[in-house]
């Protein structure tokens, strides 16, 4: 069935139910399409009905099974209800892709109290709300797999102090919950995308886009990542191929997070003569 040229077996997620938060757009939508194409029944959630409706239409158009639920992950009660809806409609949840999130670029000194709180509530508390509710309703008894989507914040996250702090916290939560829930058969991992060309980037102020375009080339691939490249990692970590992987964070960033001044991106070299010497046939 797959219109996505997936390298994974088409029945990989047959009889599996997957929840993708923020599945109405960008990375979440791409992941939802991949899971559906690989046989899963997919639930997507987000705050905006129209976005979810468009996503459902797209996945149905590809022959996939998908349901949508409007839910703000910051609202604990709504998240508990979301898990009940999955239970009522599908009986169980097997995989959680904790992808919903967002922030706004701003120098730290300008972030308002409300702005800080909104980003922490969304990316840290919201992500925790969904994991906790999924565990209590579904995973405690039957196990499952969680993949959290965080960000490349290992060198700090200039212009993104709020989300850098929240994502570092989720990196740590990933390890904590992998330990706490392992005995219940639950694996908890994360992916850390670098800069990925998605519709999400278009929500940012046009004034910062040139900076993002430039930052997107600062990696060994010298380009932004694609939604498909992140979705492939999400599928892998959620699949039985990753049965022995838990508490890990996979960086999908073309090497952005391991930037080294001796080997900057774009093939530039600090000592070209040395390089030329080595490259003689």
Ligand X SMILES: NC(=O)C1=CN([C@@H]2O[C@H](COP(=O)(O)OP(=O)(O)OC[C@H]3O[C@@H](n4cnc5c(N)ncnc54)[C@H](OP(=O)(O)O)[C@@H]3O)[C@@H](O)[C@H]2O)C=CC1
Ligand Y SMILES: CCCCCCC/C=C/C(=O)SCCNC(=O)CCNC(=O)[C@H](O)C(C)(C)COP(=O)(O)OP(=O)(O)OC[C@H]1O[C@@H](n2cnc3c(N)ncnc32)[C@H](O)[C@@H]1OP(=O)(O)O
Residue 193 interacts with ligand X (CB under 6 A): yes or no: yes
Give the nearest distance from C-beta 22 to ligand X in angstroms: 3
Examine residue 105 and tell whether it contacts ligand Y (CB under 6 A).
Answer: yes
Q: Three-state DSSP class for 21? A: strand
Residue 51 near which of ligand X, ligand Y, none (CB within 5-8 Å, type-dependent): ligand X
Task: Show the site string, 63-102: x = touches ligand Y by CB under 6 A, - = not.
Answer: ---------------------------------------x
Q: How far is the CB of 100 from ligand Y (least distance, A)?
A: 8
Query: What, of ligand Y, ligand X, none, does residue 73 touch, CB below 5 to 8 Å by kind?
Result: ligand X
> Is residue 247 at the binding interface for ligand Y, with CB under 6 A as the rule?
no
User: Taking CB under 6 A as the rule, does residue 251 contact ligand X?
Assistant: no
CB burial readout 230-248, b (16+ within 10 A) else e: bbbbbbbbbbeebeeebee
With CB under 5 to 8 Å by kind, the binding choice for 114 among ligand Y, ligand X, none is: ligand Y
Closest to 99 in 3D by CA, of 144, 55, 149, 54: 149
Whose Cβ is closer to ligand X: residue 144's or residue 193's? 193
Please pick, from the candidates 195, 231, 242, 252, the single residue that binds ligand Y as defined by CB under 6 A: 195
State the DSSP string of 201-270. Answer: GGGS-GGGHHHHHHHTT-STT-S-B-HHHHHHHHHHHHSGGGTT--S-EEEESTTGGG--TTS-STT--S
Contact status, residue 28 vs residue 234, Cβ threshold 8 Å: no
Q: With beta carbons less than 8 A apart as the criterion, state whether 17 and 43 touch.
A: yes
Find the helix or strand (DSSP H, E) in which 140 lies: helix 140-142
- The residues, ordered by sequence, that sit 6+ positions from 231 with a Cβ below 8 Å of its Cβ are 27, 30, 31, 33, 34
DSSP string, 59-103: HHHTT-EEEEEE--TT-HHHHHHHHHHHHHHHS---EEEE-----
Among 111, 151, 153, 231, binds ligand X (CB under 6 A): 151
Q: Which of residues 203-242 bind ligand X (CB under 6 A)?
A: 203
Token output for 144? 């499952």
The site partner of 48 among ligand X, ligand Y, none (C-beta below 5 to 8 Å per kind) is: ligand X
- Say whether residue 104 binds ligand Y (CB under 6 A): yes
Interacting residue ranges for ligand X, rule: CB under 6 A: 21-22, 24-28, 46-48, 51, 72-74, 99-102, 122, 126, 149, 151, 193, 195-196, 198-201, 203
Interacting residue ranges for ligand Y, rule: CB under 6 A: 102-106, 112, 114-115, 118-119, 122, 151, 159-160, 195, 198, 200-201, 203, 205, 211-212, 215
């Amino acid at each position: 069935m797959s219109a996505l040229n997936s390298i994974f077996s088409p029945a990989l997620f047959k009889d599996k139910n997957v929840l993708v938060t923020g599945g109405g757009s960008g990375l979440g939508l791409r992941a939802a399409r991949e899971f559906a194409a690989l046989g899963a029944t997919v639930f997507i959630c987000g705050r905006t009905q129209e976005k979810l409706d468009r996503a459902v239409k797209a996945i149905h158009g590809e022959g996939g099974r998908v349901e949508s639920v409007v839910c703000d992950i910051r609202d604990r009660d709504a998240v508990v209800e979301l898990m009940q809806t999955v239970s009522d409609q599908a009986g169980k949840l097997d995989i959680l892709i904790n992808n919903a999130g967002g922030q706004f670029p701003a120098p730290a000194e300008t972030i308002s109290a409300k702005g800080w709180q909104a980003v922490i509530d969304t990316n840290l508390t919201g992500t925790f709300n969904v994991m906790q509710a999924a565990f209590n309703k579904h995973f405690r008894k039957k196990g499952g797999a969680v993949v959290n989507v965080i960000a490349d914040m290992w060198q700090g996250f200039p212009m993104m102090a709020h989300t850098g702090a929240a994502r570092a916290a989720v990196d740590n939560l990933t390890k904590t919950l992998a330990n706490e829930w392992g005995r219940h058969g639950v694996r908890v991992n994360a992916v850390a995308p670098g800069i990925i060309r998605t519709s999400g980037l278009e929500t940012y102020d046009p004034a910062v886009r040139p900076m993002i375009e430039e930052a997107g080339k600062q990696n060994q691939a010298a380009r932004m990542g694609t939604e498909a490249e992140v979705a492939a990692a999400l599928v892998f970590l959620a699949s039985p191929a990753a049965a022995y992987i838990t508490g890990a964070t996979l960086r999908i960033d073309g090497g952005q997070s391991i930037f080294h001044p001796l080997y900057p991106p774009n093939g530039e070299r600090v000592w070209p003569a040395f390089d030329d010497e080595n490259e003689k046939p």
